[in-house]
Structure 1
Amino acid sequence: MTDRRRVILESAARLIARRGVRGLRVTELAAEAGVSTALVYYYFKDRSGILRSALAFIGDRADRYTAAATDPAGAAGPAGPRALLERMLLLEFQELPEVRENSTAWGELRAHSVFDPGLRAELAAAGAAWTAEVADLLRAACPGAPGAAATAAAERLTALLEGLSVRWLSGLLPAHHARDLLRAAIEVEAGRLAPERVPVLG
């Protein structure tokens, strides 16, 4: 990705987070990025292209700031799949401008997709990839769990995370409480997926 394209996408994410999708104007985007409107159109063709690219950029940025969590030899040290899953999901509640901006922009794009079928398809694909990643970690943490059950658990966890994120971002829920609620939900879902223990008969 060229530096100018990245700057435009960073600016788009910032404007979407601040003003919503409907508030995104190409002239304002160009001014925010310090480029001409012609250059914005050169890279993205039209407003729909900007939105689709911004969605992909937000997803890639989230992958970067959660990558250390899913690296078994990452900064936090080796860990099993359950711990990796918890780390990855809890990193969505970091008190960092980039994370807050990402979460806010994702929510704005999700809300706008109700009225934009093209964006809805892109968002569904991004959501499905995220759910699949969570389901893979759940299956690794709970060997023998049926695939459909792990996918359903992943859907519940990602939906809960999105709801908690909205409450956190709007100041209705402190980050530490959101993390506690998510940890408890992971515990419940992993418990449901774990095979029943057979009692030892003496």
Structure 2
Amino acid sequence: MADRPTQILEAAARLIARRGVRGLRVEEVAAEAGVSTALIYYHFKDRGGLLRRTMEFINQRAVRYTDAALARSGDDPRTQLTDLLMLELQDTAQVRENSAAWGELQASAVFDPDLREQLAISTRAWVDDLAHLIRQARSTGPAAGEAASEAAAERLTALVEGLSGRWLSGTTSLGRAHELLRDAIALELGPRQPTTGRPAP
């Protein structure tokens, strides 16, 4: 069983995914988590603290499910990059909830400087991780400097966020989202280089 702070964060993520951030009350989170409001204030200080920690929790949960799958991707950075991005578009309850809650928190960050700061930190870490893989994947192909790899990572993360919103809202199928993402990865990385000494056909 999860500890109380984790239980509260899981409840907050569920409610945000279902109903958004605006109008979310600490009392509702307490009822969803089966705890007192006093306990939420004890662990998170106020509503803003709860929202910031919920954003961190959603991000850490995404890292856990992507890291577990990356361990199965082998050593090829191109495969790792593709898997890492595709895992953000899975038809599972946890990924749906994570993606919906992230989108709601992202929209609320437009009006909340505290959320905006946490969002920037999380997004920067995601971009940095992808830029590292992009530099590795491009090391056998066309050379790309740090700035070019970071720009590619920014484009790909923005695409994933946009495709996630379209998929969750039903305006794009999951299959189409995967197809568009694979095409974008291929455009960013260029053609796969042959592993043998022979030229590609």
Structure 2 counterpart of 1:188, which letter?
A: L
Q: Summarize deviations over 1:63-84 as a string: whole Å, max 9, x none.
A: 011012332xx2x5x2400000
- Is the counterpart of residue 139 in structure 1 residue 135 in structure 2? yes
Q: What 5-or-longer segments of structure 1 have no aligned partner? A: 195-199
Greater mean deviation of Cα atoms: 177-186 or 14-23: 14-23
**Partner residue, 2:175:** 176
Structure 1 counterpart of 2:116, which letter?
A: R
- Is the counterpart of residue 123 in structure 1 residue 123 in structure 2? no
**Partner residue, 2:196:** none
**Partner residue, 2:47:** 47
CA distance in 2, matches of 1:142, 1:69: 22
Q: What 5-or-longer segments of structure 2 have no aligned partner? A: 194-198
CA distance in 1, matches of 2:130, 2:62: 14
**Partner residue, 1:150:** 149
Q: Secondary structure at the match of 1:105?
A: helix
**Aligned Cα root-mean-square deviation (Å):** 1.5
Q: Summarize deviations over 1:116-143 as a string: whole Å, max 9, x none.
A: 0111011011001001111010001011
Q: Summarize deviations over 1:42-94 as a string: whole Å, max 9, x none.
A: 000000100110000000000011012332xx2x5x24000000001001111
CA contact (8 A) 1:66 1:91 kept: yes
- State the 4+ residue runs in structure 1 displaced beyond 6 angstroms: none
User: Structure 2 matches for 1:63-142, cutoff 5 A?
Assistant: 63-71=63-71, 74=72, 78-142=74-138
Q: Secondary structure at the match of 2:190?
A: helix
**Partner residue, 1:197:** none
Scaled by the length of structure 2, what TM-score is found? Answer: 0.90
**Partner residue, 1:167:** 166
Identity of aligned residues (%): 58
